[in-house]
Amino acid sequence: VVCYCIFKTEGSKTGPKKMDEEKKRFIERGSHKGKGIAVFTSGGDSQGMNAAVRAVVRMGIYLGCKVFFIKEGYQGMVDGGNNIVEANWSSVSSIIHKGGTVIGSARCADFRERTGRQKAAKNLVEKGITNLVVIGGDGSLTGANLFRQEWPSLLDSLLQNGEITKEQREKYKYLHIAGLVGSIDNDFCGTDMTIGTDSALHRIIEAIDAIVSTAYSHQRTFIMEVMGRHCGYLAIVTALTSEADYVFCPESPPPTDWPIKLCNKLEQERAAGQRLNIIIVAEGAIDRDGVPITAEKVKQVVVDNLKQDTRITVLGHVQRGGSPSAFDRVLGCRMGAEAVMALMEATPDTEACVVSLDGNQAVRLPLMECVERTKAVAQAMADKKWELAVQLRGRSFARNLETYKMLTRLKPPRSAFDESGKGLNVLTKEGYTLAV
């Protein structure tokens, strides 16, 4: 059996000679027999992780590798024993539709210490594992890269202590890493979408669509708090797709007089005949001084100034739950398969990579380069360089934000203008109020 694949690498071109310029691979069944691969999930769970785990296992088995689950993330790697088990084809049957991660995820303080990483290295050597697929956020991926960098010295320590043999030290002297980003926040730079983001948006939109019905009946204002401690992607896309009246996100804080602008916007909406208002607040929303803007604070502003019947709904971990969307299932499958191929093609000089989504292509990017770009966003926000923070998030984030701003410009009723068409209120003289 021969599998023919075409994939896009960073910097590949398109055009008449596309077939000649793109890399082509013939993948023969059993072509990498004897290699050991392990897959684990770490950090917060997200829908679509199981699809990625399934793809890693089946792609690895197809290529002749011995594939292992590492249960409970880094903690399972450190503890070893029954936490590291060999997977077979049927091990991943009937999991693609399940949310979360069937192999578990856990925070691990032990792995932060060298002694813990040394235990993990011993457990991997005993199983013959020299290839790791890490599914998690930037913290999990950074830990994996450190593990890879320390691998030779960890083996030397194990050899010196008599915990492994010279033959094992030589046979397993290289460790290769491939990362997949599983995060509902879409907070990792270098990929258009992270595994789980699309499903989380589905959960949020379903909830808002349900709330709109009761809000309309009672002419209420609802404030919806969505996840996004350090990234406002969920809040912005939710606002765009639910026709929200105002949105608060950490990368693009509102102006200092946001309470006035918010109330003015809501008043305009009601004056235009709207019976309800929806406000989206990211859990990490802040003002331009870095002070948190909470759902409670927003409610206080609305109630004190407009006397509107206002309610707060915090969706919380509902956003993480439920079955993954079709998009996340496909994304997990494609990224998982590409991660295995990246490991099989790795050489001793190959740096750790992360499999990302660029347009509709799965591409490999240097892992730490993407991690540093992600950290640069946090630094820009800490330095209050808001435009730079939005720019660093990437084109998709910036375009969604600009699209929301454009589509929520609202014309006030005719009563707000004089006979010449000039606005009677200084706040509405331009004919619209931005909702961000």
- Give the active site residues: 185
Two tokens at 93? 């049957």
φ/ψ of residue 66, rounded to 5 = -90, 120
The angle that helices 233-242 and 395-407 make with each other, rounded to 10 degrees, is 40
Which 3-state string (H, E, C) describes the chain?
CEEEEEECCCCCCCCCCHHHHCEEEEEECCCCCCCEEEEEECCCCCCCHHHHHHHHHHHHHHCCCEEEEECCHHHHHHHCHHHEEECCHHHHCCCCCCCCCCCCCCCCCHHHCHHHHHHHHHHHHHHCCCEEEEEECHHHHHHHHHHHHHHHHHHHHHHHCCCCCHHHHHHCCCCEEEEEEECCCCCCCCCCCCECHHHHHHHHHHHHHHHHHHHHHHCCEEEEEECCCCCCHHHHHHHHHHCCCEEECCCCCCCCCHHHHHHHHHHHHHHCCCCCEEEEEECCCECCCCCECCHHHHHHHHHHHHCCCEEEEECHHHHCCCCCCHHHHHHHHHHHHHHHHHHHCCCCCCCCEEEEEECCEEEEEEHHHHHHHHHHHHHHHHCCCHHHHHHHHCHHHHHHHHHHHHHCCCCCCHHHECCCCCECCHHHCCCCCCCC
